[in-house]
Amino acid sequence: MNKIFDNKQEFTELYRDAVMSISGKSVEAASDLDRFNALAKLVAEKARTVATKSDARATAEGKKRVYYFSIEFLIGRLLDNYLLNFGVRDMVAEALDDMGFDLSVIENQEPDPALGNGGLGRLAACFLDSMAAEGIAGYGNGMRYRYGLFKQEIVNGSQVEATDEWLTHGYPWEVRRQDKAVTIKFGGHVEGFEENGRTFYRTVDTQDILAVPYDIPVVGYAGETVNKLRVWAAEPVEEHFDLEAFNRGDYALADAERAEAEAISAILYPNDAGEHGRLLRLKQEYLFVSAGIYSLLDTFEKEHGANWELLPQFVAIHTNDTHPAMCGPELMRILIDEKKLEWDDAWNIVTQVVSYTNHTILPEALEKWPIGTFSKLLPRVYQIIDEISRRWHESFDTTQEGWQERLRQTAILWDGEIRMANLSVICSHSVNGVAKIHSDIIKNIVLKDFYALTPEKFNNKTNGISHRRFFAEANPTYAKLVTEAIGDGWLKDAFELEKLKEFQNDTEFLKAVGASKRANKERLAAYVKAETGLVIDPNTVFDVQVKRFHAYKRQLMNIMKVMDIYNRRIADPNFHVTPTTFIFSGKAASSYTFAKETIRLINSVADVINNDPRVNEVMKVCFIPNFRVSNAQLIYPAAEISEQISTAGKEASGTSNMKLMMNGAITLGTLDGANIEIADLAGRENEAIFGLTAPEVEQLWASNSYFAWDTLNGDRERLGRVMDELKDNTFAGLSGNFESIYNELMNNNDPDLVMADFRSYVDAWEKLTGSYGDQETWNRKALLNTASSGWFSSDRTIREYRDEIWHA
């Protein structure tokens, strides 16, 4: 363990100085924010010192460097994590306590940067953590959005979006690297020129933007390796402040150029409904791709000279989904136009360096760009894509039967659009899905024509999570219990959690597991009370569904279950309900009406149920606003039921399922995404599996044999009642009825099979909660979930990427 402070005394002296230097005050007189900034600055400085050594070691050892390109990095708060990874968390807490301060209060001052939407962005952050823990020279490359994903407020039950101003008080972890800024060229036109008898191309009359990097240290567990996350901000190349306009009082015009440039990195995922927003998104994608590639080539050239043929030996570029799909064409452009390589040599390099992860099979989430928009913004990149596409067509063996259909499916340019997933596959040497079932669906359905052509490219890498952040850090009471039982080796090697199986029949240990869950429930209840005013009872089952809102994730089915149980209890006060708190949290995209209506429905049902004394003893509904990494770390440890109820075949993997499993929640889920692997590892008997399977769903649609109306008519009493209540004012008190949800289901034949799975879901829930009374058995299941969860550490996932994709 590379401890950054030798002892309490050394830390205390350094810390007092740090507070004085940033605030000009003694630690006693400073504010909590000052105390946080000083501590973060101190740790960041130490981290940067280690980073310099890690970097020098990578150079000396000729290590291959891995660049993880992602438009999202949902890193969460860093201070606690870095104290833990440097092995000084307890010592720092004690030293602060001696000075009269509480570490957790100081940590709560840290902004929680929302530089991502959900699973994809958090996965990228977990991967950074694990790359550093595994000693890989691995770097994140992304965007520094001035405003992260919106802050969610709930007003009259509805989601209202507010700006996420995470940089207001500065961000002590980042360092601006003006010296590494890169000029990015947009627009203009391509012209050819002759040099040594060869024709080369360049883009002229461009609008240039400066991409300025900010580096954030990534501290690996044990503190031996510190890597970095480099995020790019857009700025004007030169200041063109219009003094005349300013003196006229036209301030906006005076600084118009800066505003225009900065807009590119202003916000995560600008609303892509209109052409304007989409164009901004495309600019973002190109900016972080181009700047990232220039930056990594610069490092390569310093280490290995202009020996570009060595690039595959020393560099891996991983593209997280299709947002960085331009990595292939942009690297081609630079190698051909600027490094003067021949096409075939450049292509050989690119296709050995670039790899791609697919995260979704939903057609609407597979990116496509209109050729017109794209070629105007990036004319030379478009030419390269066009040439890749031409050569792809040429490579087809037209004597083979069915080649036309195969070409149609795999084409890059089609119907006036650029298909970014196809581009990614063609430019990559490896294509992976994120759970076994998802990788199989990719191979057999979504990308089956590519799979037929190059089966060797395709592989599975089931997702993972940082067990240190989401277990050790988030759940200190349980983690302490585990360490007392099996030692702390599991922090490094999560497979050691397996040793907990020895305690499955130890009554006292199981009681302690239950007690730790209880403490976490109390902690969450206090948070909920402070945030929303709602009082929830830690004696009830905490049933949790926390994730982005999306129709296929079926939060709707969950709240319909709550409505059904409510109806039955009201009809019959003797109907047994295991006292439960139904907890929801998550954001809906600002333009996604159905998802926003589902949030409004949950809050409206909550309003009725929470104020109905007839059911209050046995049920409460709780919506926790503004789901983000920091409150997720409070929610997962308190959960007893993990709701993973997506329509089978639609959730690529899911990762909250893993975090909840690790924290001892029992999965109530469909056989979808990584739920399947969870059930296999922990044993079906320790989860509650229900519903249609992916092949059954496929068969249902293929045979045209599902009729939502028939399902409704077959269950008028319960399902019919719930559906009627969407329109009959039962839950309209807060802000009206829910016709749009009703219509979406009934007019579109229940596209996510909510009604088809409704009864088996409610039955499974009743059976599961019915067993809650036997606490020993319940706690044993919880323990076996934790004990089986080591495989879901992102350390394991990263080792697979390292060995099978990056060869680093």
State the residues that interact with ligand RUG by CB under 6 A: 118-120, 123, 321, 359-360, 365, 434, 463, 651-655, 673
548 labelled catalytic: yes
Closest distance of CB 418 from ligand RUG, Å: 16
Distance CA 52, CA 226 (A): 8
Task: Put the strands of the sheet holding 413-414 in their side by side order.
Answer: 368-370, 417-419, 413-414
CA dihedral (457, 296, 228, 317) in degrees, to 10, reads -10
Pick the catalytic residue from 322, 578, 655, 769.
655
718 labelled catalytic: no
Distance CA 775, CA 494 (A): 26
Record the tokens describing residue 541, joined without a space: 């089952």
Return the ∠ at Cα 434 (arms to 312 and 627), rounded to 5°.
115
Query: 408 vs 383, 419, 445, CA distance in Å?
Result: 20, 11, 15
H or E element in which residue 562 lies: helix 555-571
Q: Would you say 362 or 535 has its CB closer to ligand RUG? A: 362
- Amino acid identity, residue 612? D
Distance CA 757, CA 766 (A): 14
Q: Would you say 581 or 633 has its CB closer to ligand RUG? A: 633
DSSP 748-786: TT-TT-HHHHHHHHHHHHHHHHHTTT-HHHHHHHHHHHH
Torsion sign, CA atoms 369, 370, 376, 382: positive
Torsion sign, CA atoms 607, 608, 610, 612: positive
Range 737-743, long-range pairs (CB < 8 A, 24+ positions): 738/597, 738/600, 738/601, 738/604, 740/593, 740/594, 740/597, 741/556, 741/594, 741/597, 741/598, 741/601
Pick the catalytic residue from 185, 318, 521, 548.
548
Closest distance of CB 359 from ligand RUG, Å: 4
- Amino acid identity, residue 102? D
Q: Would you say 491 or 658 has its CB closer to ligand RUG? A: 658
Pick the catalytic residue from 554, 659, 796, 802.
659
Pick the catalytic residue from 151, 230, 333, 547.
547
H or E element in which residue 69 lies: strand 65-69
Pick the catalytic residue from 323, 359, 443, 457.
359
Closest distance of CB 542 from ligand RUG, Å: 23
Q: Would you say 113 or 119 has its CB closer to ligand RUG? A: 119
Distance CA 717, CA 375 (A): 57
Q: Would you say 463 or 466 has its CB closer to ligand RUG? A: 463
Query: 477 vs 222, 467, 523, 670, CA distance in Å?
Result: 21, 15, 11, 30
Q: Is 59 exposed, middle or buried (0-12, 13-18, 19+ CB in 10 A)?
A: middle
Residue 240's SS3 state is coil
- Is residue 182 within 8 A of residue 51, CB to CB? The reply is no
Closest distance of CB 344 from ligand RUG, Å: 32
Residue 203's SS3 state is strand
16 labelled catalytic: no
Q: Would you say 119 or 157 has its CB closer to ligand RUG? A: 119
CB count, 10 Å around CB of 563? 23
Q: Give φ, ψ of 765 to 5 degrees.
A: -65, -45
Q: How far apart are the first and last CA of the chain?
A: 23
- Enumerate residues 6+ apart whose C-beta is below 8 A from 37: 22, 23, 109, 169, 170, 172
Q: Would you say 255 or 672 has its CB closer to ligand RUG? A: 672
Q: Would you say 215 or 367 has its CB closer to ligand RUG? A: 367
Q: Would you say 107 or 651 has its CB closer to ligand RUG? A: 651
Q: Is 717 exposed, middle or buried (0-12, 13-18, 19+ CB in 10 A)?
A: exposed
Distance CA 740, CA 758 (A): 19
Residue nearest to ligand RUG (CB): 119
Q: Would you say 142 or 514 has its CB closer to ligand RUG? A: 142
659 labelled catalytic: yes
Closest distance of CB 71 from ligand RUG, Å: 9
Record the tokens describing residue 682, joined without a space: 């922990």
Residue 168's SS3 state is coil
Pick the catalytic residue from 65, 406, 553, 569.
553
Q: Is 718 exposed, middle or buried (0-12, 13-18, 19+ CB in 10 A)?
A: middle
Q: Would you say 138 or 673 has its CB closer to ligand RUG? A: 673
Q: Would you say 447 or 784 has its CB closer to ligand RUG? A: 447
Closest distance of CB 432 from ligand RUG, Å: 10
Strands (E), 617-721: 619-624, 641-644, 666-669, 688-689
Closest distance of CB 332 from ligand RUG, Å: 24
Total count of residues recorded for the chain = 808
Closest distance of CB 277 from ligand RUG, Å: 17
Q: Would you say 226 or 420 has its CB closer to ligand RUG? A: 420
Closest distance of CB 83 from ligand RUG, Å: 27
Closest distance of CB 362 from ligand RUG, Å: 7
Closest distance of CB 797 from ligand RUG, Å: 10
655 labelled catalytic: yes
Q: Shortest CA distance to 281 belongs to which of 325, 336, 250, 346? A: 325
Query: 205 vs 208, 382, 386, CA distance in Å?
Result: 9, 17, 22
- Is residue 559 within 8 A of residue 605, CB to CB? The reply is yes
Query: 256 vs 187, 207, 240, 510, CA distance in Å?
Result: 19, 14, 9, 64
Closest distance of CB 324 from ligand RUG, Å: 12
553 labelled catalytic: yes
Closest distance of CB 656 from ligand RUG, Å: 8
Query: So which residues are the catalytic ones?
Result: 359, 547-548, 553, 655, 659
